[in-house]
Structures are given as structure tokens and as C-alpha cells.
Structure 1
Amino acid sequence: MAEPVRLLVVCLGNICRSPVAEGVLRARIAASTLAGQVEVDSAGTGDWHVGQPPDRRAIASAAGHGIDISGLRARQLAADDYRRFDWLLCADRANLRDVEARAPRGAHARAVLLLDWAGIEADGEVPDPYTGGPVQFEQVFQLLDRAADGVISRLRREHRL
């Protein structure tokens, strides 16, 4: 069996956007023909929330769609991630700049904007719902759900999975 395609979703603190994206992608991949052929994880560029569960509003939004992300724990992007993963899918341009700036020599992973890579919105960004409420978290969930469709389509097309 070929090596799995490895995706790392990156946002700022790894408690809102990236864990929701990780949960949606894992659920969608597990229910598709891509099961066992794609690995998904998430990380943040900052270290403020390392070890903490996702934001309670992110957990509630995902749970409302049958996805349990409560067991995830925030972690910071590490140098090894640039070697372990194929794609670093960034939530916004600031995350992308940070990820590119931290890339060690010999980095394997390619850093891109998630929405752009998924074919949802050219140069698009996933808004940070942290200072918002349930409505903003639900909007982000819906956007990431659409992005998951795009990711799966791209993986099937490019990797013939």
C-alpha cells in the first residue's frame, strides 16, 4: 500500500478553526473511499493553548453536526511537521506567512491557503470566530464543511485515491 497523503490544518491557536477542520476532514474521509489513505492533524502557530481542548463553541458547533472534536488537544506547529506532512493547509494569510517563515531547511511540506487549495475561494481565508459567538462558529463550520468537499475532490483527482 502506498504512503498516505498527510494533511496538517494550521490556524493561530489550534482551538477554533483548525480542530474543526480536522474533525470535519476526518469524518468525511472515514466515510469515503479515501479511508486509510489520508491522515489529518491540526496545529497552531502560537503556543497559548497547547494541551487545551478546542474552544467550547467550536466543540458545540461540530457536535451539532455529529462530529466530536472534544478529545482533540491544541499543539503548536513543530519543525518535524514540515517533514511528516505533505500539505500544511493554512486558515488565513497571516498563518501562511508564519508557516512559511518557520520552515526549516529541507522542508517537505507545501504550505498553502486551505480554501484556495480546496478550490472553494481563490486566496480565501477562514475567518477567526474566536471573538464572535455561536453564529460565527457555525459560519466557520459551514465554510470548512464545503472545504472538506473540495479537499476530497482534489485528493481523488490528484492522487487517484
Structure 2
Amino acid sequence: MKVLFVCLGNICRSPTADGVFRKLVADAGLQDLIEIDSAGTAAWHIGKSPDPRTQEAAARRGYDLSMLKARQAIAEDFYEYDHILAMDLSNLENLHQIRPEDASARLGLFLDYAPGLGLKEVPDPYYGGESGFEQVLDLVEAAGKNLLVELAIHHDS
């Protein structure tokens, strides 16, 4: 099973989802069954590490994002990954634009896995303060836990 998280620049939200979900998967002992990656729909930050504020907020909660490097989502991802999860509606639309017609990857919004939160989108913290990065972590942790449960159920069936 392969999961790809996608935001705009791949330096805040999607690497946070990548790092959080990677730890959840490892803590569940499923790291040999679930592969995780992240990407952005824009090419601005290719090869760069996650935003320092993102890394600092994640580190305070025990997540290491230091090994991640930004990359751009490409059409081939739709053949490589089983689930491609966008952080917001704009990036979901961008992904629909590059999705090949015959692709089988399941494309959707990440927060669809946390309907109880009452939000559809993970807000971009880039231009905000520290609280925005904490909010992203809160949302990603909630959705990540539910995503892991769903993937584990589908794997067992």
C-alpha cells in the first residue's frame, strides 16, 4: 500500500502529514506494508527541506521531518500510489488536472478521514504564526489515525 500526501509547495502541510503518518505506521508495526511520500503541485521548492517552522513544530511532538525533500507531484504518481491525498480543494483540483484517465489511484482530500473535525481543508500555515503549524499537526494527527485504521481494515480483508 502506498500513500502520497500533496499540498502546494511540499514544505509545510504535506511533509507534516508524511512525517506524522510515517510515525503512526511505524508505531503500529506496519512500516513494511505501507509506503509514504509527499509532494507539491507547484515546483517552487523542489529539493528543499520542509520549512524550519514546520520542522520545529513537528519535532516538539516527536516527529522528524529532516530527511524529507520537496518534490512536485507528477502524472506517474497516479500509477505508483494507491492513495493520493490533497490538503485542500485547490490542490485536489490541480491533481485532477494531471491525473491520467486510466489511473487507478484513489484521489481525495486528506481531511475526509477526519469528518468529525468539521473542516474539509488543512489550512496553509506558511504566512501565519506558530499556532498555524500547531493546528496543522492537530488536523494531520486526527486524519492520520483514521486513515491508518481504514488502511489496516482493508489490508486485513
Shorter-chain TM-score above 0.5: yes
Q: What is the RMSD computed on CA atoms of the aligned residues?
A: 1.5
Shift of 1:115: 0.8
Q: Normalising to structure 2: TM-score of the pair?
A: 0.94
Given the alignment of the two structures, is residue 74 of structure 1 paired with residue 61 of structure 2, yes or no? Answer: no
Which amino acid in the other structure matches residue 155 of structure 1? Answer: L
Shift of 1:78: 1.2
Q: Which residue of 2 aligns with 1:100?
A: 96
Shift of 1:117: 3.6
Q: 1:80 to 1:113 in 2, by over 3 A?
A: same
Worse-matched range after superposition: 66-75 or 109-118: 109-118
* Cα distance between partner residues in 2 of 1:97 and 1:86: 18
The CA deviation string for residues 121-148 of structure 1, in whole angstroms up to 9 with x for no partner, is 5771101101012111011111111111
Shift of 1:100: 0.8
- Runs of 4+ aligned structure 1 residues displaced above 3 Å come to 117-123
* Cα distance between partner residues in 1 of 2:115 and 2:148: 11
SS at match of 2:61: coil
Choose from 9, 25, 29 the match for 1:29: 25
Worse-matched range after superposition: 122-131 or 51-60: 122-131
Given the alignment of the two structures, is residue 158 of structure 1 paired with residue 146 of structure 2, yes or no? Answer: no
* Cα distance between partner residues in 2 of 1:87 and 1:46: 19
Structure 2 unmatched ranges of 5 or more: none
Given the alignment of the two structures, is residue 58 of structure 1 paired with residue 63 of structure 2, yes or no? Answer: no
Shift of 1:70: 1.5
Count of residue pairs brought into register by the alignment: 157
Q: Is the Cα–Cα contact under 8 Å of residues 92 and 125 in structure 1 kept in the other structure? A: yes
* Cα distance between partner residues in 2 of 1:52 and 1:104: 27
Structure 1 unmatched ranges of 5 or more: none
The CA deviation string for residues 25-47 of structure 1, in whole angstroms up to 9 with x for no partner, is 00110110423111110000000
Worse-matched range after superposition: 91-100 or 108-117: 108-117
Q: Which residue of 2 aligns with 1:126?
A: 122
SS at match of 2:128: coil
More helix by share: 2
Given the alignment of the two structures, is residue 111 of structure 1 paired with residue 142 of structure 2, yes or no? Answer: no
* Cα distance between partner residues in 2 of 1:101 and 1:21: 22
Which amino acid in the other structure matches residue 15 of structure 1? Answer: I
Q: Which residue of 1 aligns with 2:45?
A: 49
Percent pairwise identity = 44
Q: Which residue of 1 aligns with 2:84?
A: 88
